[in-house]
Amino acid sequence: METLRQDWSDWRRWLWLVGIFTLIGLTFALQEIIPHFWCIATNCESHIPKEWSVWLSAGYVLLTVYAMMLLVPLVWTLEKRLHLRNLGWKRWLIMHGTMSLGFILLHTEVDWIEAKGNYVQIHAGPEVYRLREKLSMLEQRLDQRNFARIHRSMIVNLNRVKELQPWFHGEYHVHLNDGTKLTLSRRYKAKVEAQLGSRL
């Protein structure tokens, strides 16, 4: 995950630097070009006010910056999707944050997932990511060999399970390697034990 974050930071930094210097050059160029186009359009019968040229250039810059804010995360995500294509679509999740952030989270980095209404919270180490998707839909995109539903609102990465501890009323506590304690309901107990096999 840190590698992907660093890659995103470096990639975004260089793209913005290129974009900024390009915009500066285009701004000065447009201030010279716009009056000529105005002259052609009006047969040089009038001259465009200098303030108009400045405002039109500024408007172009603002629109371009806004477009970059939208496109930079999208282009980076698509580039990473192509780069990780050989991993298989079931081994990574595309995560989207704000307009200024887009990143990819590998399935192998996920510890457990919990439902929060129409959202899910994905726990990966010390980080928690929020994704607008129902748990049942996300479950279909996960590798069933490594992920299991342990509760109607929880899915766990089986490779993170340290032990199952009997609790009350047929339920179990699921202890993860990082110390997290989750609840395994009776409904999913048999299936989880079968999926865990000899991992414990």
pLDDT at residue 185 in the model: 93
pTM of this structure = 0.56
Q: Where in the chain is the domain with CATH 2.40.50.1020?
A: 110-196
Beta pairing, strands 112-116 & 119-124: antiparallel
Pairing of strands 147-151, 154-157: antiparallel
CATH number of 110-196: 2.40.50.1020
Tell me the pLDDT band of 105, cut-offs 50, 70 and 90.
confident
Residue 98 confidence class, pLDDT cut points 50, 70, 90: very low
User: Tens digit of pLDDT for each residue in 136-195?
Assistant: 988 888 888 899 999 999 999 999 999 999 888 888 999 999 999 999 999 998 889 888
Residue 3 is predicted with a pLDDT of 45
Which of 189, 199, 152, 159 lies closest to 176, judged by CA? 159
